[in-house]
Amino acid sequence: MRLNIRNETSRLRAVVLGTAKSFGGTPTLADTYDPKSAEHIKAGTYPVEANMVREMQAVARIFKKHNVQVYRPKVLKDYNQIFTRDIAFVVEDKFVKSNILPNRDKEIQALNHVISQIDPNKIIQLPEEAHVEGGDVMPFGDYLLVGTYRGVDYKDFITARTNVQAVEALQKAFPHKKVVSFNLRKSNTEARDNALHLDCCFQPVGKNKAIIHKNGFLEEEEYNWLVYRFGKENVFEITRDEMYDMNSNIFSISEDVVISEKNFTRLNDWLQEQGITVEEVPYTEIAKQEGLLRCSTLPLIRD
């Protein structure tokens, strides 16, 4: 397999889509990794397997419609494998294995049938001290955009998934890239004030557009850097509640086609005004775990 990912929007050819089968049911509060999941456990509204399987099948049908090759993880019994973006990501022709939460170590093993098709010389394992998840990493032409948390209290936040050591390791792994990091707002208790990953508060879309939530960024100048790159007229600003609903976590099949949650009315209308076809799917159950379409997909090949 010849990997190729250089941006977020070029025509998609191959992708890993996670699976909700045998996801293990509702976890205990002690075993949750984010405030939104905890919120739904307390409310008795945590998603059930059948509904999430149905939502992911809808996405698989969209990929088939657009002739995208779809790989799925091997199903592990009673193990949550929905968010494949966390466990690995592709930059150019390199497959980078993430260093994620220890309780999720088995997830990468379920992709061995995909990894075995990749040249071993193209597989990167970052140093153990470099914590990173794919939701924080975005190839963007000559740039590699990376969400992080720089606070000295990093270890106190289960929602802080990518550290400064990972930013440095990625710069060493891709020395020809300009690695730009963004200090993200974190909260263990309030999902509306928690940018779990960079793609929870920002994402490029189309040819020169972007979706962004200002309060997801702790440093205003870093938010401004992004707005300047796209131009304010090309940026769709989402509200605190829209970030909570995961509006920036849609997924591009190409510059002209995106998959989006069907209830994102304001966003979807704007996308269509930009000439982008919106393939709408139900994904509100998946969203209860503080992840959406980008989180549950791992692109392997784009044109």
Structure tokens at 11: 């025509």
* Length of the chain measured in residues: 303
Is residue 124 domain-resident? Answer: yes
**What digits encode the pLDDT tens for the residues 48-82?**
999 999 999 999 999 999 999 999 999 999 999 99
Residue 123, pLDDT score: 97
Residue 41: domain span: 12-302
Q: Is the pLDDT of residue 103 over 80?
A: no
253, part of any domain = yes
Pairing state between β 123-125 and 94-97: parallel
Q: What is the pLDDT of residue 295?
A: 96
| Predicted local distance difference test score (pLDDT) of residue 293 | 98
DSSP class of 98: P
Q: Angle 63-68-73 (CA atoms, 0-180°, nearest 5)?
A: 80
- pTM of the shown model: 0.95
- Residue 216 banded pLDDT, cuts 50, 70, 90: very high
Rounded distance between C-alpha atoms, residue 212 and residue 214, angstroms? 6
Could you report the per-residue pLDDT of 2-47, keeping only the tens digit for each? 999 999 999 999 999 999 999 999 989 888 889 999 999 999 999 9
- Angle in degrees, CA 241, 246, 251, rounded to 5: 150
Q: How many domains does the chain have?
A: 1
Judged against a pLDDT cut of 90, whether residue 227 lies above it is answered with yes
Tell whether 112 is covered by a domain: yes
In a domain, 96, yes or no: yes
**Residue with the two structure tokens 């972007």:** 210
Other CB atoms within 10 A of residue 20 CB: 24
> CATH number, domain at 37?
3.75.10.10
Report yes or no: 86 and 98 within 8 Å, Cβ to Cβ.
yes
The mean predicted confidence, pLDDT, of the chain is: 95
Domain assignment of residue 292, yes or no: yes
If phi > 0 it is left, if psi is from -120 to 50 it is alpha, else beta; for residue 202 that is beta
Is the model's pLDDT at 252 over the cut of 90?
yes
Within a 10 A sphere around the Cβ of 151, how many other Cβ atoms?
A: 14
CA 178 to CA 175: how far, in whole Å?
8
pLDDT in the model for residue 60 = 98
Distance in angstroms (rounded) separating the CA atoms of residues 92 and 82: 24
Question: Per-residue pLDDT tens for 118-139?
Answer: 999 999 999 999 999 999 999 9
Residue 275 zone, left/alpha/beta (φ > 0; ψ -120 to 50; rest): left
What pLDDT, on the 0 to 100 scale, is given for residue 33? 80
Q: How many CB atoms lie within 10 A of CB 303?
A: 9
Q: Beta strands 69-71 and 12-17: pairing type?
A: parallel
Q: State what percent of residues in the chain have pLDDT above 90.
A: 92
What is the model's pLDDT at position 93?
98
Are 69 and 299 spatial neighbours (Cβ–Cβ below 8 Å)?
A: no
For residue 23, give both structure tokens: 């996801």
Does the pLDDT of residue 229 top 80, yes or no? yes
Q: Is the pLDDT of residue 233 over 90?
A: yes
Q: What is the mean pLDDT of residues 210-223?
A: 98
Q: Is residue 6 part of a domain?
A: no
Which pLDDT score, from 0 to 100, does residue 247 have?
A: 98
Question: How many Å apart are CA 147 and CA 184, to the nearest integer?
Answer: 6
Average pLDDT over residues 230-253: 97
In a domain, 1, yes or no: no
Answer yes or no: is 2 within a domain. no
Digit-coded pLDDT (tens) for 205-214: 999 999 999 9
